[in-house]
């Protein structure tokens, strides 16, 4: 379900109608909102030519003079034209009062930073927006709001796409609440003991009668697992809550969705075109960082610095000596517990809790620098 909002600045010309119809078909628009169509009456026949068929419902507000005129099928807000009223409305929206009073949320706009180019000037503004309610945002946190190039208007059309691409399996992440489970110690110990066994493979077979019974028991414990999931919301939202026991699931869910909205990459501008296909987006990001971290300097200049103070052999040996077990442990335990050391998803709280299983591995990693 996609939304299109456009300030058309007079819909009377045929090429503008054809342009809007093309945008509707290209982006599979389900809801269309237009401003400044400058038409006193908008018939159903005109709407069907614009929409492409007769399967639609419309609402319409006529123009006043050369200003206004709304074709709407959701709430469509058009600023007043008097200077005093426009200044009040601009402050009302700019200060966020409209969103705060009505619990509305605005998605981060992609594609362009500005949507309006003032005639006969170089002034750029962002005056075309889409605000959604919290229920809409909770259902589609991955929705993409994008401004597309303006062709027959001084405003950029704004498109809100609710469907999201499939970027593959989400990375694993360890949650601190798992440490409170009685069976976690056994699971970790078994995983550590079987990790070096090259013959360890997952079973691919039919479940036995006993395993079917266990599966049934697991299904009956879904509610218990949901309770554990609520404990993870505080960590996922990254909110420093004053009381750990004060859980508001909707509040934390919304914080998680806000983080998802800010950190998500629904698409990229590649070669002047918007690309949202996950495979192409991943390829572009990989190429960017690969080029960014590629070193082009073949030979580095040597450092020649005469008459400088030097460390003694004893001091130099102490600095370049191997790391001790105490130094490695102190370095790990001084790190924040919720910080993840890498893409494996295990945070430092997990490493601290099960340090006895990983202490030798850390020593081997540090010792490899001296080999």
Which pLDDT tens digits describe the chain residue by residue (371 residues)?
788 888 877 776 778 888 888 888 888 888 888 887 777 777 777 778 778 787 877 777 766 655 555 444 455 555 554 545 544 344 333 334 444 445 788 888 888 888 888 777 778 888 888 888 888 888 888 888 888 888 888 888 899 988 777 777 677 888 888 888 888 989 898 888 887 655 545 455 566 778 777 877 777 776 676 666 666 665 665 555 544 444 556 666 777 777 777 777 888 888 888 888 888 988 999 999 988 888 777 777 777 778 888 888 888 887 888 888 999 999 999 998 887 767 788 889 999 999 999 899 899 989 888 87
Cβ atoms of residues 165 and 266 within 8 Å: yes
Task: Enumerate domains of the chain plus CATH numbers.
Answer: 2-161 (3.60.10.10), 202-263 (no CATH), 268-294 (no CATH), 313-370 (no CATH)
CA-to-CA distance for 241 and 249, rounded, in angstroms? 13
In angstroms, the Cα distances linking 358 to 179, 189, 193 are 16, 11, 12
Going 84 to 61 to 127 to 103, the CA torsion angle's sign is positive
CA distance 354 to 276: 41
**For helices 355-367 and 325-333, angle between their N-to-C axes, nearest 10 degrees:** 120
Distance separating alpha carbons of residues 34 and 157, to the nearest angstrom: 9
Which helix (H) or strand (E) segment is 104 a member of? strand 104-106
Residue whose C-alpha is closest to residue 164's, from 259, 253, 283, 266: 266
């Amino acid at each position: 379900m996609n939304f299109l909002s456009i300030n058309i600045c007079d819909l009377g010309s045929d090429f503008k109608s054809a342009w809007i119809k093309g945008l509707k078909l290209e982006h599979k628009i389900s809801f269309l909102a237009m401003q400044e169509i400058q038409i006193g009456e908008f018939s159903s026949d005109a709407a069907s030519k614009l929409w492409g068929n007769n399967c639609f419902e419309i609402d319409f507000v006529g123009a006043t003079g050369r200003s206004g005129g709304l074709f709407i099928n959701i709430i469509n807000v058009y600023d007043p034209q008097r200077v005093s009223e426009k200044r009040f409305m601009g402050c009302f929206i700019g200060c966020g009062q409209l969103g705060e009073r009505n619990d509305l949320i605005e998605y981060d706009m992609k594609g362009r930073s500005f949507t309006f180019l003032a005639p006969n000037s170089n002034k750029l503004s962002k005056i075309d927006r889409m605000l959604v309610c919290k229920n809409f945002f909770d259902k589609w946190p991955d929705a993409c709001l994008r401004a597309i190039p303006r062709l027959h208007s001084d405003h950029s059309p704004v498109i809100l796409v609710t469907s999201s691409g499939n970027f593959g399996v989400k990375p694993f992440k360890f949650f601190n609440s798992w440490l409170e489970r009685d069976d976690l110690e056994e699971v970790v110990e078994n995983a550590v003991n079987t990790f070096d066994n090259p013959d360890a493979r997952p079973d691919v077979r039919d479940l036995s009668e006993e395993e079917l019974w266990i599966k049934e028991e697991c299904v009956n414990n879904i509610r218990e697992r949901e309770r554990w999931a609520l404990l993870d919301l505080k960590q996922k939202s990254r909110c420093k809550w004053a009381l750990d026991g004060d859980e508001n699931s909707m509040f934390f869910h919304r914080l998680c969705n806000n983080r998802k909205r800010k950190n998500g990459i629904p698409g990229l501008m590649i070669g002047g075109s918007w690309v949202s296909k996950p495979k192409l987006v991943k390829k572009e990001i990989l190429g960017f960082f690969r080029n960014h971290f590629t070193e082009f300097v073949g030979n580095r200049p040597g450092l020649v610095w005469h008459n400088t103070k030097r460390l003694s052999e004893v001091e130099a040996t102490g600095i370049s000596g191997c790391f001790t077990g105490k130094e490695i442990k102190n370095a790990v335990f001084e790190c924040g517990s919720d910080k993840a050391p890498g893409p494996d998803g295990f945070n430092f709280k997990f490493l601290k809790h099960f340090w006895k299983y990983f202490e030798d591995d850390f020593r081997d990693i540090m010792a490899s620098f001296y080999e």
